[in-house]
Structure 1
Amino acid sequence: MVWQGLVVIVAVSFLTTWLLRRYALARSIIDIPNARSSHTVPTPRGGGVAIVLSFLLALPLLAIADFVPWSTMWAMLGAGMGIAVLGFLDDHGHIAARWRLLGHFAASIWALYWLGGLPALTFFGFKLELAWLGHVLAAFYLVWLLNLYNFMDGIDGIASVEAICACLGACLLYWLGGFDSLIVVPLVLAMAVGGFLYWNFPPARIFMGDAGSGFLGIILGLLSLQAAWTSPKLLWVWLILLGVFIVDATVTLIRRLLRGDKVYEAHRSHAYQFASRQYGRHLPVTMAVAVINLFWLLPLAASVVLWNMDGALALIVAYVPLVLLAVRFHAGELEKT
């Protein structure tokens, strides 16, 4: 029954994306290329709603079947729906940055209430109980992750490929490490994204939009916190698996802040955007992300689960080459005209 259910989720996501594409074309909900775009062809947007619907409709069924705790279901359902609605409204108009940020924190606080906040962490062998400070840091962590996912959704297929690689990588490590109870939810999310990716793979026929990218960011963050409650080392695993997006977005943000840029304004100075312009296509960059995930980040995450490598040390080893790669591709620099 599980495999049949996964096939249904892929099919629902696929067909819903097709319907959303027709809707976007009929209503002229189109991304028109401009000086800050990474694409050159007008393309419908908002297809990420298919991911949202496919995943959220499955969540209560998973809870009823005891595949996911009800507390986790309410955390993801409430926060995910709130972020998706906010992104959908922003896709169809414009919501001021301060109101979006307020909504992001509200969704994060809702989710943390149901999850129980931030669990104890392990850091170079020491157990850290951060109490209320940990809950505050967890809220900022979720807000940053959902925003960076939005920032990184700038070329065809990249956000979808990152989510699928992270989710399937986590599922594999859960299975190998004996954390079977955690497998189903990231697997369902990967299937929901997979149905959408058919339409979003380079050259994309529809874009994800803020509704989908923000939703993926906060759900991936919640999956990492859910896993950390089962075993603290699993938080490090998720941070490693999401390393490409975390490093590119963070290096870009820091360099723009140091230069005094208005960081809430649209730009195209991420490393992946410079790389796509250098190679003249989106496909090589999107596939490079998949290769880095599979052959660099997944083995390092596996070393934490299977061979008890310290999570913080593995994270540093994973991130150092990614930081160098981001700098090599000019993350956060001004575009030369």
Structure 2
Amino acid sequence: MNMWWLLPAAAVVALFLTGALRRYALARSLIDIPNARSSHVVPTPRGGGVAIVVSFLLALMWTASLGFVAWPLTWALLGAGVGIAVLGFLDDHGHISARWRLLGHFIAATWALFWIGGLPPLTLFGFALDLGWIGHALAAVYLVWLLNLYNFMDGIDGIASVEAICVCLSGALLYWLAGNELAALLPLLLAFAVAGFLYWNFPRARIFMGDAGSGFLGITLGVLSLQAAWTAPQLLWSWLILLGVFIVDATWTLLRRLFRGDKVYEAHRSHAYQFASRQFGKHLPVTLTVAAINLCWLLPIALVVGSGKLDGLSGVCLAYLPLVVLAVKFKAGEKEA
């Protein structure tokens, strides 16, 4: 059975559901009001990322029921994704303390790792490296950090959506070039679901993703990257390269604020992309630049690493170096004047 019709279907479901969620948010006064720590200036509804969650998970269950996606991966994505989305949805509607959110994040990460088999053996300079339980613990921290940094990086119009689309399309291309077209289905489904939401979120955004959507994207991309490593060990390095813009900006910013003694769990506007959006006076140039970096710089390196022609760690260092330079140039982690 041809399953590729699910791609436009996921986009259409997300498109119309986002519109419905916007009306719901307006009716319930779920509005982001601009403040001193915001990167937007117009009150905007939030919570539209639920449309991504629903459209992707419906497509996931459909493909799994027909045997196109393995059930262990399905349970990993379904359980972790629903858990994080519900936690984010509740936080969007009220407030959940940081400690309880973090506990929920680790429970979701542990659930996902249980079903996909944890961290697979890695390739490092041509050698296989099995870290055992240490590797599984590191994988849990990786998933939790990725879902949180995705939340941190969802601060200007369209940036989180564009990042997810670029990463997923690039990941699908890696599978296709490796001759594994069926494995490309899930990242493509996620990309199309996000594209339906992006219609409403593209600058100037008419609705924001909210914690439910950003957290869901973070942990889903993390699980897909670990699953890719079970397919071919070097593909984990490729996915880390593709996620480089968000990983470098968020990690560099966190470390600078941590060393300065800031309360890292408090909201702020000191990411590189936030400084850049204020410098340019609008969000669109920054969002489009992120897409250009993903497709013109990170994707070619990821493809070379995925083909086995470049060691994964070397590829990550090569890919991240200019991103660190950009983070420094745009003052990531510095105090605002």
2:138 equivalent to 1:137: yes
Distance 1:272 1:243 in 2: 13
SS at match of 1:67: coil
Deviations 1:93-119 (A, max 9, x none): 000000000000000000000001110
Distance 2:144 2:4 in 1: 33
Residue 179 of structure 1: how far off its partner (Å): 2.6
2:135 equivalent to 1:152: no
1:42 partner amino acid: P
Deviations 1:199-235 (A, max 9, x none): 0000000000000000000000000010101111000
* Gapped regions of structure 1 (runs ≥ 5): none
Q: How large is the RMSD of aligned CA atoms in angstroms?
A: 0.8
2:57 equivalent to 1:49: no
2:31 partner amino acid: I
Distance 1:257 1:231 in 2: 35
| Number of equivalences | 336
2:228 partner amino acid: A
2:201 partner amino acid: N
SS at match of 1:333: coil
Q: Equivalent pairs: percent with the same residue?
A: 72
Counterpart of 1:97 in structure 2 is 98
Residue 180 of structure 1: how far off its partner (Å): 2.2
Distance 1:311 1:181 in 2: 24
Residue 3 of structure 1: how far off its partner (Å): 3.1
Residue 306 of structure 1: how far off its partner (Å): 2.7
Counterpart of 2:298 in structure 1 is 297
Residue 305 of structure 1: how far off its partner (Å): 1.9
Contact 2:3–2:63 under 8 Å retained in 1: no
Counterpart of 2:334 in structure 1 is 333
Distance 1:243 1:5 in 2: 29
Structure-2 change in CA distance of 1:227 and 1:307 (3 Å): closer
Structure-2 change in CA distance of 1:242 and 1:332 (3 Å): same
Counterpart of 2:196 in structure 1 is 195
Structure 2 counterparts to residues 1-337 of structure 1, below 5 A: 1-306=2-307, 308-336=309-337
SS at match of 2:128: strand
Deviations 1:37-56 (A, max 9, x none): 00000000000000000011
Distance 1:57 1:12 in 2: 10
Distance 1:259 1:48 in 2: 33
SS at match of 2:188: helix
Deviations 1:184-211 (A, max 9, x none): 0000000110000000000000000000
Deviations 1:25-72 (A, max 9, x none): 111100000000000000000000000000111111111222211000
Contact 2:113–2:140 under 8 Å retained in 1: yes
Which runs of structure 1 show a deviation greater than 3 angstroms over 4 or more consecutive aligned residues?
A: none
SS at match of 1:256: helix
Contact 2:60–2:74 under 8 Å retained in 1: yes
Distance 2:333 2:124 in 1: 29
1:182 partner amino acid: A
SS at match of 1:183: helix
Deviates more, 1:193-202 or 1:180-189: 180-189
2:309 partner amino acid: N
1:237 partner amino acid: S
Deviates more, 1:262-271 or 1:300-309: 300-309
Residue 307 of structure 1: how far off its partner (Å): 5.1
